[in-house]
Amino acid sequence: MTGSQRIPRHVAIIMDGNGRWARSRGLPRVKGHEQGVERIRPIALACAERGVEYLTLYAFSTENWRRPRREVRALLQLLSRAMDRKGEAYLEDNIRLRLVGSVERLDPALQQKVNEAIELNQHNTGLTLCLAFDYGSRAEIVRAARTIASDLDGSEVTEETIEQRLYTAGMPDVDLLIRCGGEVRLSNYLMWQSAYAELYFTEVLWPDLDEAELDRAFGEFSRRNRRYGALDGGGDA
Ligand code: FPP
């Protein structure tokens, strides 16, 4: 990485490939998720070191409830353990935790654990690590539309009034969206917030994502010419 690079302010990652990581080693899928959880802190620290302000990780989508019961249970257990251990660790790292999505479908003890970890770290001043949990863009926009329907007249609805009602209220738009694991789609992730994001798709599986690949993504971001739909030097829109 060179000193003159532009650094994305908000990075979003689709952490795909845990299952394949495990399968290629003859391990059960849940081992891939465990390894996936282990990557969260080093990647968050690497982003913080490079000057990223917000990192939003797709931990569990609204569609993930449809996975086999056993796998869902394992993912919830991992969330629970991550909140136990990482609550303290993030305090040390000066990382602020935020939830993007919902904990309403979790049992009350786990909801409390998540809320306590967020509370514990709320005065940290470094990177904001947003965990997208039970998150889906369409559900998020429906939720925003419902509150607008009860709060406002149609004529008062603007991009800002919608933004203020998204889970990400107050956060900057996504600058760089990275998808691990070789698929080339957005999978209902931050679709409003990524309207002008640069997209980076990599074959690297999430449990293998390292600083070298992160730097390749940042390098690619830095080389791209972001025009937000405007013309520049007579080029394409
Ligand atoms: C996809 O891998 C990944 C997920 C289902 C979400 C990412 C989850 C983690 C990193 C662990 C959970 C973290 C928390 C904090 C709950 P996949 O199973 O779809 O991989 P595959 O495409 O190779 O099958």
- pLDDT tens for the chain, residues 1 to 237: 545 789 999 999 999 999 999 999 999 999 999 999 999 999 999 999 999 999 999 999 999 999 999 999 999 999 999 888 766 778 789 999 999 999 999 999 999 999 999 999 999 999 999 999 999 999 999 999 999 999 988 889 999 999 999 999 999 999 999 999 999 999 999 999 999 999 999 999 999 999 999 999 999 999 997 777 776 644 444
41 lines ligand 1 (CB under 6 A): no
Please report the pLDDT score of residue 188 as a whole number.
98
**Whole-angstrom distance, CA of residue 100 vs CA of residue 58:** 9
Please report the pLDDT score of residue 86 as a whole number.
63
60 lines ligand 1 (CB under 6 A): yes
**Whole-angstrom distance, CA of residue 81 vs CA of residue 223:** 39
Q: What six digits make up the tokens of 155?
A: 């004529």
Q: What six digits make up the tokens of 24?
A: 């290629």
Sign of the CA dihedral running 185, 191, 196, 202: negative
Quote the ligand 1 centre to 161 CA distance (angstroms): 32
**Whole-angstrom distance, CA of residue 70 vs CA of residue 58:** 20
b/e code 52-86 from CB counts within 10 Å (16+ = b): bbbbbbbbbbbebeebeeeeeebbbebbeebbeeb
The pTM of the full predicted model, rounded to 2 decimals, is 0.93
Which fold, 15-223?
A: Undecaprenyl pyrophosphate synthetase (3.40.1180)
Please report the pLDDT score of residue 221 as a whole number.
96
Please report the pLDDT score of residue 234 as a whole number.
41
Radius of gyration of the chain (CA): 18
64 lines ligand 1 (CB under 6 A): yes
Please report the pLDDT score of residue 237 as a whole number.
40
* Ramachandran category for residue 173: left, alpha or beta (phi over 0 → left; psi -120 to 50 → alpha): beta
Distance from the Cα of residue 85 to its chain's centroid: 19
**Whole-angstrom distance, CA of residue 101 vs CA of residue 134:** 5
17 lines ligand 1 (CB under 6 A): yes
Q: What six digits make up the tokens of 79?
A: 């969330």
Please report the pLDDT score of residue 4 as a whole number.
74
Alpha-carbon distances of 47 from 31, 56, 184, rounded to whole Å: 25, 11, 23
Distance from the Cα of residue 236 to its chain's centroid: 30
Residue from 16, 100, 106 to probe ligand 1 pocket by mutation (most atoms less than 8 Å from CB) = 16
19 lines ligand 1 (CB under 6 A): yes
CB 83 within 8 A of CB 41: no
Which residue's C-alpha comes closest to atom 8 of ligand 1?
A: 59
Q: Could you tell me which residues are beta bridge partners of residue 201?
A: 179
The type of residue at 131 is L
Residue position matching structure tokens 């309403």: 104
**Whole-angstrom distance, CA of residue 10 vs CA of residue 202:** 18
Q: Where are the domains of the chain?
A: 15-223
Residue of 61, 42, 59, 51 whose CA lies nearest to 11: 51
Task: Give catalytic residue positions.
Answer: 16, 64
Residue position matching structure tokens 């001043």: 125
Which residue's C-alpha comes closest to atom 11 of ligand 1?
A: 33
Please report the pLDDT score of residue 233 as a whole number.
47
